[in-house]
A and B are shown apart, each in its own frame.
Chain A
């Protein structure tokens, strides 16, 4: 029996010697990513004859559990995909140094520990507010002039509420993402660059006046009736966005890449029927070049190389190909992602809303506050935000609970 196992093992080992690279992700089977993956695979295999690349799409809900199990057992794929921020940072120990390959890419902070880059970002992610032009017009608002200040946004929501056809914002907070997006959108304009950095280090507390003002704004907007009832049982992905697409919400905080963005809303609702604006904030201190609010922006997803892999040099080459302008152009075109690689040709992406948004990525970019918080803080924020929406806790109590988690997360 033992020999049989040994023989099987040897056999498996020898097939792997015929140079096969395994990539884990949760995207490669997605039709929108198909041409990107195919292009990268073709390009890489052409440059490295005899090597095959095997993309394995894993179930999203168990992805990090599986990855963690494999990595901590010293096995796992040669290359794997991860989300920027907390999830990437938890795996830096298993990743090689890709600093030399990262030159010129955007969205690096989410994939590096300051000095060393551990994964190459593929997409840029960010939040803007998308709005339904028809619902604006119906409420007597000018669809060509979205709000640029907090007071203007309040007036918009009052008008929409008075009309009564739909809530001002479609809101999904079942997983706590509604609160996450809200906090980052407001923090972009309400925090200074120094305060953002302090927040990332856990030095700006949730009970500080600034952070409490953000939580208070979340409660205020609920009290003003901006959201539909039952936001806590509505999933942001995709219940909230489906509501918005059905016209059951005048605004929604959406993404820049992947889904819930200019491309998806444009395809479903007609490109001429939607518009975008940057989320205004009360007491804004950081303003964009045009005097308007800032927009949270961060590295989205990225590929890294497993240190324990059989052929790290080859895997590094593969990640370079995956981050290369050529294959990503196909991804940008099909899925509507904003590439982290500035060399990508984006001329094929045409949408009036995207044309509005693109300049903001340079003129109005702010850090994405929640992506820099610890994973434990985010979990606590999810829970506290739901209690805030239900009126089961106060801003003071929620901030105190978050402080505790924040202190613990940054202590050890």
Chain B
């Protein structure tokens, strides 16, 4: 049995303009110690999926399907029960290290909170553990830093504090939602390296969410590409990059400026913009921007085709998508 199994998950948000399907029929699983990357653009449902895992969805939302952690459905749990799971078995690192720490409490206080709540440590034990954690995440001089407020730390250091909080109860699964988007490349490098090391040493599973194919490529075993709330391609990271199949994945890869490419070649663009979730076709979510789209795409959800062992693509036109060059596809 996998550690985490997301089965046919749908998230529907009620908005003033009607229901928005933020996530539709998502299926994936995660084994202990595995690293999974979720990649996609804004509005693709990657953050909503993370919030659903943590039981932190906004109130105006409805879920369908199951999220099984060790066979127990998290969606059926009460808030009290979720409080014992959250931070304890599942922990999350948020995108904005500037706003996700409480500015009126010292960082020590914030790291001690889960330790006292979940592990029931005494004040002095929690403080000792906090010092160890700060050292572990690479904050220099923990004894001085423990009484600092968030504004006294740099962006990279704040993200390290967030990681320390997430690690404090030795969770089984660490969810990192765009952990480095607000940081410089050099700091991003340090933080990703730290997450990698910690995940390996503690044997945690990692769900890394990013819009950056480069970050995902270098830090994950498996990858899940989402568009408009649906999974479009899933498989082993290395294999997927050898053979991008879904037209969206191909377009996304081609649209990304890459170092060392001839600069005279134009970037390939995917026409149109990221769609809004209310007026999405009932079939394939990529229909409106897809060069291969036909009538069937708009109204019938695409079948999931296994193109190679473990490499699944949700597309009506897999063969065509596979055997055409990206340049042709989007010209």
**Is chain B a partner of chain A in the same complex?**
no
Interface residues in chain B, defined as those with a beta carbon under 8 Å from any beta carbon in chain A: none
